[in-house]
């Protein structure tokens, strides 16, 4: 299904980052080109996503029946721990910032590369090292603590937590390096035309993400290190038997990990802000509001960690403070949601695959978010804490929103990155399967939570079975959906239709260059005289940025 039947066939940019300065494995492994590094991050992240997804499927399979189904308790406990660790530290945190961020941020600010290309490559190898150590730990023993590593269990268990802790610790450095790189890039490498108020919203959001990565990650690093030391040498920092305070660990952990959840959603919002404009062919409604609310999230997100400790016997005063602040953090997301919806007003909406994912994203973010706020109301959290309601909450947001956004990004920028189109029809099929399968998987889990089924349960009373079966059924649809996506994307790599410059008729700066982009991003650096989300008064057909440009 050709995009502009009338126009002449689009051209594939022959001189591009995939073949210049060189081709071959070596030229990739030692590349300093942010685009190639971004692609490598993406590939790695997708592989880990598949691994984490495999674990997820096994979890769902085990939960099919109340008793033992396919594995023993010890295996199950390792399974959900590894699932959480892989999905969060190996997939979700690097996926959008280090993957798409690396590819796009420099292009979007009209730079040739990130500020510190060497650090950038280092970041990738640090990430691989961390991943290898963590996975190594999984293969030889694995840990059974849950991704939250709560002490004193994590310091007393006989399973191999230390390698996994070290792995996560090292991964933290990758995250810090990348964040640092982006902040400096945005500050110092913006092309002359691009003022702060003409910064693409994608960049704004990634910028906010980077701030969180820099401020929060070191604390997590230290905390994980303490647990590792504790586990290995028994220094007693978190060990009640030695006067340590196990709850202190939870404060440290969540001081990082609550902001970390915004490390996982802000990049998703970054993608969505771009997608909604491109496919509504419409300027963003409330640019400033959307841009600054990202900073708001980054800031307020640092003061709500206590909402994970409502049942830990924390004082009523603390609970109150953290509770109120939790109410406020929701607002910034609300602003974005409303503005995205309003952006469609008077637009010209094109229902392509990325837009379908946008719809899914909106739906899941809304319900995931609202349930989050509901959890913040303290008294309800007392009932829901550590039940499947929480599991459903964060899957709605992390799988629901973030993965939808991730897939939207994958399809939206696929032509730019590969120079080819994926099959739109299959794209729609995949999107429908993923979205619906997702609802079936996690909606029942909210009800399970209400009914009182605790999480991390290997066996459960009969009365919970019906809903669990429903959830497992949904999960299999989800899995099939992902496999379809995987297949047609791989096919598109070789046989996809040539995309040509700016096939979507988007106004984003990244589309001003040819696809795939040349080695240093622009053959001629444009003047960037208009904003990145301006769609009114289209320029003369054929001019860069006009719908169908590059076909003439």
Partner 1 sequence: MNDLLRRLLFLPTQLSEHARDVDGLHFFVVVTTMVAGLLIFATALAFMIRYRRRSEGETTPEVQPKHWHEAVFVGVPLAFFLLWFAIGYPQFVETTQPPPGAMDVFVQGKKWMWKFAYQGGPSSLDVLRVPVGRPVRLLITSRDVIHSFYVPELRLKLDALPGRYTQTWFQPEVAGRYQVFCAEYCGLSHSGMLAELVVMPAAEFDAWIADQRRGEARAQDAALTAGEQGLPGSSILEQGRRVAADQGCLKCHSVDGSRHIGPTFIDLYGRKEKLTTGEVVVADEAYLTRSMMDPAAQLVAGFQNVMPSFQGRMSPPEVASVVEYIKSLKTPAVSAGPSEGPVYEPSPRK
Partner 2 sequence: MHSAVAHHFESLEKQGQAQRLGMWLFLATEVLLFTALFAAYGVYRYLYTEAFAQASRGLETWLGGVNTFVLVTSSFTVAMGLDAIVKGKNRRTALLFGLSILMGCVFMVLKGIEYRHHFLHAELPGQFYGGPIAGSGGSMFFALYFLITGLHAFHVVVGMTVLGVIGARAWMGKYDAQYHVPVELAGLYWHLVDLIWIFVFPLIYLI
Task: Identify residues 101-120 at the interface with ligand HEA (CB under 6 A).
Answer: none
Closer to partner 1 by CB, 21 or 240: give it.
240
Assess contact for 519 and 423: CB atoms under 8 A: no
Footprint on residues 228-257 left by ligand HEA (CB under 6 A): none
Member of 89, 285, 482, 528 binding ligand HEA (CB under 6 A): 482
88 contributes a contact to ligand HEA by CB under 6 A: yes
Handedness of CA 60, 64, 66, 70 (dihedral sign): negative
Rounded to 5°, the CA angle 19-21-26 comes to 80
Could you tell me the two tokens for 458? 């290997």
Q: What's the angle, vertex CA 288, arms to CA 283 and CA 294, rounded to 5? A: 110
Work out what residue 548 binds among ligand HEA, partner 1, Cu ion, none; the CB cut-off runs from 5 to 8 Å by kind: partner 1
**Contacts (Cβ under 8 Å, ≥6 apart) of 352:** 279, 411, 424, 427, 504
Q: Is 46 or 229 the residue whose CB approaches ligand HEA more closely?
A: 46
257-278 core/surface letters (b: 16 or more CB in 10 A; e: else):
bbbbbbbbbbbbbbbbbbbbbb
How many angstroms separate the first and last alpha carbons of the chain? 19
**Which of ligand HEA, Cu ion, partner 2, none is residue 273 near (CB under 5 to 8 Å by kind)?**
none
Residues of this chain that interact with partner 2 (CB under 8 A) are 111-113, 115-117, 119, 176, 180-181, 183-184, 187-189, 214-215, 217-219, 221-223, 226, 229, 233-237, 239, 242-245, 248, 252, 520
3-state secondary structure of 386: coil
Nearer to partner 1, 484 or 538 (CB): 538
> What gap in Å lies between CA 410 and CA 407, rounded to an integer?
5
Helix (H) / strand (E) element for 107: namely: helix 102-108
Please choose which of partner 1, ligand HEA, Cu ion, none residue 152 contacts, taking the beta carbon within 5 to 8 angstroms, the exact cut-off set by kind. Answer: partner 1
258 binds, among Cu ion, partner 2, partner 1, none (CB under 5 to 8 A by kind): Cu ion
- CA distances in angstroms from 265 to 212, 260, 383, 543, listed in the order given: 12, 9, 26, 35
User: What is the token pair recorded at 485?
Assistant: 């996506």
Q: Would you count residue 502 as binding ligand HEA (CB under 6 A)?
A: no
When asked if residue 381 is in the footprint of ligand HEA (CB under 6 A), the reply is yes
Q: Should residue 258 be labelled a site residue for Cu ion when binding is judged by CB under 5 A?
A: yes
3-state secondary structure of 454: strand
CB closer to partner 1, 31 vs 250: 250
Cβ(37)–Cβ(537) below 8 Å? no
Please report how close the Cβ of residue 490 comes to partner 1 at its closest, in angstroms: 29
Footprint of ligand HEA on this chain (CB under 6 A)? 46, 49-50, 53, 56-57, 59-60, 80-81, 83-84, 87-88, 91-92, 146-148, 261, 264-265, 307-308, 326, 329-330, 333-334, 337, 365-366, 369-370, 372-373, 375-376, 381, 384-386, 390-391, 393-395, 397-399, 402-403, 441, 455-457, 475, 478-479, 482-483, 485-486, 489
């Amino acid at each position: 299904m050709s995009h502009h039947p009338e126009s002449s066939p689009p051209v594939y940019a022959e001189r591009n980052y995939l073949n210049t300065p060189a081709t071959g494995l070596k030229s990739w492994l030692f590349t300093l080109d942010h685009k190639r590094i971004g692609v490598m991050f993406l590939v790695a992240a997708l592989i880990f996503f598949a691994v984490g997804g495999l674990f997820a499927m096994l979890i769902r399979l085990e939960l099919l029946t109340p008793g033992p189904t396919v594995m023993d308790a010890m295996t199950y406990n390792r399974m959900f721990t590894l699932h959480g660790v892989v999905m969060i530290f190996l997939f979700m945190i690097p996926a959008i910032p280090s993957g798409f961020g690396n590819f796009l941020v420099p292009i979007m600010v009209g730079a040739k590369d990130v500020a510190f290309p060497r650090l950038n490559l280092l970041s990738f190898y640090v990430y691989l090292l961390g991943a290898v150590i963590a996975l190594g730990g999984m293969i030889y023993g694995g840990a059974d603590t849950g991704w939250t590593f709560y002490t004193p269990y994590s310091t007393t268990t006989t399973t191999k937590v230390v390698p996994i802790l070290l792995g996560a610790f090292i991964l933290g450095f990758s995250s810090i390096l990348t964040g640092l790189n982006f902040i400096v890039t945005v500050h110092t490498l913006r092309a002359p035309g691009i003022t702060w108020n003409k910064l693409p919203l994608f960049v704004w959001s990634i910028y906010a993400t980077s701030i969180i990565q820099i401020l929060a990650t070191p604390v997590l690093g230290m905390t994980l290190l303490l647990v590792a030391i504790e586990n290995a040498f028994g220094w007693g920092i978190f060990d009640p038997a030695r006067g340590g305070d196990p709850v202190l660990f939870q404060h440290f952990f969540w001081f990082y990990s609550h902001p970390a959840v915004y490390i996982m959603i802000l990049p998703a919002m970054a993608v969505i802000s771009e997608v909604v404009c491109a496919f509504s062919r419409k300027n963003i409604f409330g640019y400033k509001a959307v841009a600054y609310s990202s900073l708001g999230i980054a800031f307020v997100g640092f003061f709500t960690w206590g909402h994970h400790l409502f049942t830990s016997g924390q004082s009523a005063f603390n609970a109150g403070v953290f509770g109120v602040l939790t109410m406020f953090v929701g607002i910034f997301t609300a602003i974005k949601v409303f503005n995205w919806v309003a952006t469609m007003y008077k637009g010209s909406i094109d229902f392509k695959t990325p837009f379908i994912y946008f719809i899914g994203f909106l739906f899941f973010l809304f319900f995931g978010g609202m349930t989050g706020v509901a959890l913040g109301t303290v008294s309800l959290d007392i009932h829901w804490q550590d039940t499947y309601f929480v599991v459903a909450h964060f899957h709605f947001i992390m799988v629901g929103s973030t993965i939808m956004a991730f897939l939207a990004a994958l399809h939206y920028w696929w032509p730019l990155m590969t120079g080819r189109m994926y099959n739109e029809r299959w794209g729609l099929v995949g999107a429908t399967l993923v979205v619906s399968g997702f609802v079936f998987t996690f909606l029942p889990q909210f009800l399970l939570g209400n009914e009182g089924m605790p999480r991390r349960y290997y066996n459960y009373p009969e009365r919970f079975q019906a809903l669990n079966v429903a959830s497992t059924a949904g999960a299999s649809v989800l899995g099939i959906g992902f496999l379809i996506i995987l297949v047609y994307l791989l096919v598109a790599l070789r046989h996809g239709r040539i995309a040509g410059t700016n096939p979507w008729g988007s106004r984003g700066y990244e589309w001003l260059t040819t696809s795939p982009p040349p080695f240093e991003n622009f053959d001629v650096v444009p003047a960037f005289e208009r904003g990145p989300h301006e769609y009114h008064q289209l320029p003369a057909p054929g001019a860069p940025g006009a719908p169908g440009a590059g076909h003439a």
